[in-house]
Structure formats: C-alpha cells, structure tokens
Amino acid sequence: MRDDHPTIAVRVEEATLVPDGGPARFVVSGPVPHGDLAAAAAAAGGRAAPAHGRLRLTVAPDAFAAALAASPSSAPVADAVTGAIGRWQAGAPDLVLADGRVLPTSTRTLIQAVLNVTPDSFADGGAHLGPDGDVGPAIEAGRAMVAAGADLVDVGGESTRPGAEPVSVEDELARTVPVVRALAEDGVVVSIDTTKAAVARAAVEAGAAIVNDVSAGALDPQLYPTVAELGVPYVLMHMQGTPRTMQQDPTYDDVVAEVFDHLAVELDRLAAVGVPPERVVVDPGIGFGKTVAHNLALLRHLRDLTSLGRPVLVGASRKSFIGQLSGGLDVAGRLEGSLAAAAVAVAGGARIVRVHDVRESLRAVTIADAIAG
C-alpha cells in the first residue's frame, strides 16, 4: 500500500445481524482518531480493540453513527462504515463494458479463461505460441475456450510467474494484439493481461474490453491515466514486489488487512485520475507475493473484500500453493485442487474466477453458485 494517501478504509468482517438491529464487526484503518472511535463504540454498547495499527470494532452501526455525531472529527468514519456495511450486504453489481454490454456479475460467477501467448508461463508456456511467434494456435485456443463456456478470455503476452523476466513492449504487442483482434471480431469479451500502458492502449484499440493489471499501476505510471482515457473496466490486483521478486520471502503483519487497504487506496487513486469505482474489479492476487498461509487466509476471508463494493476476481487455478497442499503435485495434477479453490472463492463472494480448465471450472462454479444462492 502507498502510505501517503489519506484513505479511510472500512473492512467488514461480519454484518449478518445488522438488518435485525444487531452488531457488525469491522476494521477501520487510515487517518482516524482511534480514541474517539473507541469511545463512541463504548457509548453505543459495543467494543473496540487495536489490530495491527488499525481498530476492530463490534457495534451496532446506527448506534455507533449516533455516538460519533458528538465528535465532528469522526464524521467521515460514520459515512465510511455505513457505506461499507451496505456494500457488504448488497453483493456485487454488474460490470458494464464501454460498448454497453453487461457482464452479469450481480447474478452469477463468470469464467475468465487464461490464454497465455507466451513461451514461459508456469501452467501452459508455449502451448499457444507456434513456431517463429505464430499466434494462430492461440486464436484457436481462445475460440475453444469460449465454446467450452468461458464468459471472457484473458490474453497475456508476458509471463507473470514467480521469477519471470520482463519482455519488451514490441514482443508483447506482437503476441497479443493479433489474438485480441481476432477474438474481439468474433464477439468475444477479451481482457488484456498487461502492466504496460502502450500494450493496454493497443489491445483496447484492437477490441479488448477490459485491462487486467497485476501491478496496480506500479510498473508503469502511465497505465492509470491510459485506462481513464480509454474508458474501459480495469482489474485492480494486489501484488507484493514484482513477478521477478514476489516470492522471495513475502511478509505481512496481517495479509487480509494489508491487501484490503491496498485495494481501497488504489480505488481512490484510480478515481482521482478518472477511473470511477463502477469500472473497477478487485483481485486479492492469490500467489502474487504470498505464501501458502497467506493465500489460504485471503480465500477464507474473501467476503471481506466485498466491502469495497466491486466484483471480486480470484485467480487460483493451477497455482503452486495447490500443488504444495496436494503433496507436491505438478501443474498437470492440480485440476481438482483448482476446482476446490474456485468453489470456495464463489462461496466467499467471488464473481469472476480466472481459470485454465474452462469446462470443468464452469461445472464446479455452477454448482457453487447454486449452493451459495
């Protein structure tokens, strides 16, 4: 998280009883007066406790807001709390594309198919890139993914596996733009997986409908302004470090809180440059600068991210933590674990899952959606 931004972030952990007048449990971070908030919680019959530099409160929201009214400096907190609890209760909104098409993230979980046009991605490097850079296999693979049930196809030309080296803009453009154009001409909803403003621009001009950035704008300062100018939805993901360094001893005091606060801050930064929250999807970045324990904590507490009011995307498919939890299985043996992770993500509020195995994932997600209601 970039610490110079005065965002008040409210992460709701539990608010099931609020409609019946019961308490909510939530964590407040940012430039807020902890003493005043704790006093207001006590006055409202609730309680407060410090939590890694933040404040966790358990209190009925209406009574808490009324108690805060006595402290003008705390007034913004009352609005932030009310808004976060309302978003947590409401669920995800739909995602509207620039051309007016609607992705129904309010009613079901969407399947985002991974299409790596790279020689070195961890799961399928080289599978979709022919001799001398021929992208014909990638185009056909993308069409097959849609036929298998993918709602959108995520095209990437640079591996973001741990330890990956960056590639040039020219190479990334050559790999992705023809694939994006061909699939978009078929009517496919295409997202471009890139950290580079120049690639995002070229891909959108070729027909991409969404920019999916693993770096939250940190690797190219022009990416946020470019997305604002293009007017397309943007996937905001958390990553600690860079793909080259991210798995070198990732460390957090509280991974759920830190990921949430990072996303909250970056939502504000995006809004400041002209990307409104309505165009943003949030992604906790499973496997991007996280240990197995970090990934599990984020999946267990995924519902917390719905406090941001945006569709939540989860990409756990075939990742190394699944292999480690399954006794050291390699990528080819991680299907069942990937399906389990996808189902848990749906139960936790994910509205888009990024997957390699489309047909199998669609079946699992359909059942998970039905159970989650």
Which residues are known catalytic residues? 319, 354
The SS3 of residue 2 is coil
For the stretch 170-180, what's the b/e string if a residue is b when 16 or more beta carbons lie within 10 angstroms of its beta carbon? Answer: eebbebbbbbb
Burial class (CB in 10 A: 0-12, 13-18, 19+), 51: middle
Cβ pair 267, 224 in contact under 8 A? no
Rounded to the nearest 5 degrees, what angle is found at the Cα of 182, between the Cα atoms of 177 and 185? Answer: 120
User: Which tokens go with 42?
Assistant: 């006590």
Per DSSP bridges, beta strands 210-213 and 234-237 are: parallel
Please tell me the distance from the alpha carbon of residue 373 to that of residue 361, in angstroms, as a whole number. 18
Alpha helices in 119-187 (DSSP H): 136-147, 169-185
* 112 secondary structure, DSSP code: E
Nearest-10 Cα torsion for 3, 211, 283, 51: 10
- Give the angle 357-154-234 at the CA atoms, nearest 5°: 135
What count of Cα atoms within 13 Å lies in the side-chain half-sphere of residue 193?
A: 24
- φ, ψ of residue 185 to 5 degrees: the values are -65, -25
Distance CA 342, CA 317 (A): 8
Structure tokens at 148: 């298998």
Cβ neighbours of 89 (radius 10 Å):
15
